[in-house]
Amino acid sequence: MRKKVNATMQARKASLLSPNSKMPRWFYSFIPFKVATGGSSQIISLYALQLGAEAGEIGLLTSLSAFASTLGTVFWGKLSDKLLKRKLFILMGFFSVSVFLSALSLVSNFWELILVNALYSFFLASTVSIPIVLLFRNVRKTRWEEGVGKFNKIGGWAWVIGLLLGFILVRFLAFRELLLLFALLNIPAFIIAWKTIREAPVYLHRNNIKPLVNQVIQKGRYLPNFLIHLPMRLKLSPKFRGFYLSSFLFWVSSGMYTTQLPVFLIKNGFTSQEVFGLALLNSSTSAMLYQRVGKKLRSKNPVLGLVQGYFFRALGIFLLLVQMDFQYSLMLSSTASYLLWGYSWSYISVSSTSFIGRRSSTKEQGSILATSNLVNSTGFILGSLIGGGIASQIGFDMNFASASVMGFLAMFPLVPLLGISLSTSISKRPIPQIRKRD
């Protein structure tokens, strides 16, 4: 009987793996999904501007979407843990993309857009952490890093393909038509996932999930993408206070910068295609550098990577304030800003999880990651609201200047951590004593 059970389990594992790539087949269901979400990611803000929204409304749109996504990540993740079902929630997330992108194409004013987009973000959140938990069940523990890296690499490049499609088609199709197109392109994701995902109980405590240094983290629509849910209680460990403060300042700066940048460009005469092209440049830069940065920082203090990422992000924001007296000066500074955005994110995403993994013990990693998620999400939501208010009431120059200063300030809480050795401690074995004979 025992041999029969073992044979059945081996057959199940074999059915989940492709004979060539040796990775779960359901990884490929995320290709059409990421193409659809990546391609539509730039449309929401541009569509809102077409419907008459200003800088303040764009900040409100983004912050509400981020808040709904945060709530959704907690709700769907905890519900999936309780029911021990993963396939159901992934399929629901895939299905919601086609439904809500179609619904977004039918809205007639900004307030309908903001409501539908918030609901979309809430349901889309079911595809954030649940697939990673399923991955941990389908891939051997010794190959978790490789599995997460390949999974996110597939999604990252599919996201780039979606942006490329948007860049090409936005010149010929209206925003409503593009949203419908991406809703249709997403349908194969649901079909592939339905056929390839095999449900199995996942008895996996999230506090035991360790950060993976070489993972490729896709930025998602608005929020940082973490594997762990938000904490029930806020625990600010003394050794992480500087890190939390630094992360909070960075994400406030990021919210002020990223949400208002497309608005700033459109107001200065850029076309929708040019905005898509710059976003494509940003995401391509990140996708190409993730794995390289992970290998580069493997033997170094990850705080150095964070400082480097924060510095280049703040520098990229500052470039928008440099006034040059020639025809394409704004295009040049904007291109450089988007490049540094993608370059800096590859360092920030890898270094932050690496720092938590090296600095925390196994028992506290889950709570540390959860608290970090809460701090980052709160910072981004506040930054989106503040950026929209400053841009609409004072101007874009003041908003970007404030975001750049806050980005530089985010480096200072990390200074005390630069001298700390973060290498994994190895317990010293007691030296055996040699007894003298009488």
Q: What are the backbone dihedrals phi and psi of residue 24, each rounded to the nearest 5 degrees, phi first? A: -55, 135
Question: What pLDDT was estimated at residue 19?
Answer: 43
- In whole angstroms, give the CA distance from residue 69 to residue 242: 26
At residue 119, the pLDDT reads 94
- Burial-class residue 310 by CB neighbours within 10 Å (0-12, 13-18, 19+): buried
Q: Which of 255, 257, 258 shows the shortest CA–CA distance to 375?
A: 255
Q: pLDDT value at position 14?
A: 47
Provide the pLDDT for residue 211. 52
Residue 420: count of CB within 10 angstroms of its CB: 11
Q: Which amino acid, one-letter code, is at 284?
A: S
Amino acid 213: pLDDT: 46
CA 416, CA 221: separation in Å to the nearest integer?
33
Domains and CATH numbers, the chain: 20-416 (1.20.1250.20)
Task: Count the neighbouring beta carbons within 10 Å of the beta carbon of residue 288.
Answer: 15
* Separation in Å, CA 301 to CA 154, 228, 247, 265, 319: 28, 23, 17, 37, 28
- Reading the chain (438 residues) residue by residue, the pLDDT tens digits are 455 445 445 545 544 444 444 677 888 899 999 999 989 988 999 999 999 889 999 999 999 998 998 888 888 877 877 877 888 888 999 999 999 999 999 999 999 999 999 999 999 988 877 777 777 777 776 666 667 667 777 888 888 899 999 999 998 999 999 999 999 999 999 999 899 887 665 555 555 555 554 444 444 444 444 444 555 555 566 778 888 899 999 999 999 999 999 999 999 999 999 999 998 888 888 888 877 777 777 767 788 889 999 999 999 999 999 877 777 888 999 999 999 998 898 888 878 877 877 777 666 656 676 777 788 888 999 999 999 999 999 999 999 999 999 999 999 999 888 765 444 433 333 444 434 433
Helical ranges in 224-324 per DSSP H: 241-258, 261-267, 272-296, 302-318
